Each structure stands twice: as structure tokens, then as C-alpha cells.
Amino acid sequence: MPSPTSVTEPRTITPAGPASTEPTAAGTAVLDRVAARVRQRLEAEEGATARVGDGAHAASLIWPWPL
């Protein structure tokens, strides 16, 4: 059964984020790939004539962004 307690208020968490990973070559390689896709998404949105809507249904694996 779910816990009877609900968390509705954010806690004070330092802006740096707790236990963030140190930069690594592996992390940089993953983030470089992500950066390429983020650039494409930004450019697609800048070029869009219509308002941007959300892109994906949470309960299925639509991925309308370029991979």
C-alpha cells in the first residue's frame, strides 16, 4: 500500500546538486551525443511556424526527436 505521507514541498537542496558526478571522459562522450540532439531540437523549434507542443506520450516510447 502507498505510504500515507505525501511530499508536497521541495526541500532546500543546494544549487550545485547533491553528489553530482565529477566530469569524466565517459560522461563527456554521452553528453556530446545529447548536445547534438539538443541542438537539432532547438533549431527545429526555432524554425517552427506553429506553437511547440509536447512531444511524447509518457506510457509509450514515442521519440519524435532525432536520434
Partner 1 sequence: MTEPEGPVPFRTFILKVANRCNIDCDYCFVFNSKDQAARRLPARMDLAVARAAARRIGEHASAHRLRTIHVVLHGGEPLLVGAGHMTGLLETVRDAAPTGTRVLFELQTNGTLLSGAWLDLFERYEVAVGVSLDGPPPANDRHRLTHAGRSSAASAVRGIELLRSRPHLFAGLLAVVDLANDPVEVHDYLAAFEPPVIDFGLPHATHDDPPHRADPSVPEYGLWMSKVYDAWLDRPEYGHSVRMLEDIVALSSGVRGSVETLGLAPPTSVVIESDGSIEAVDTLRSVEEGATWLGLDVLRHSFDEALSHPKLLHRQHGKDALAEHCRACPLVDVCGGGYLPHRFSEAQGYRNPSVYCADLEYLIRHVQGSLRQHGWDPYAQAASSP
| Interface with partner 1: number of residues (CB under 8 A) | 57
Cell numbers describing residue 67: 536520434
Cell numbers describing residue 56: 511524447
The verdict on 47 binding partner 1 (CB under 8 A) reads no
Cell numbers describing residue 53: 507542443
- C-beta neighbour count of 44 within 10 angstroms: 13
The verdict on 11 binding partner 1 (CB under 8 A) reads yes
The verdict on 1 binding partner 1 (CB under 8 A) reads yes
Q: Which residues of the chain form contacts with partner 1 (CB under 8 A)? A: 1-11, 13-24, 26-39, 41-42, 45, 50-65, 67
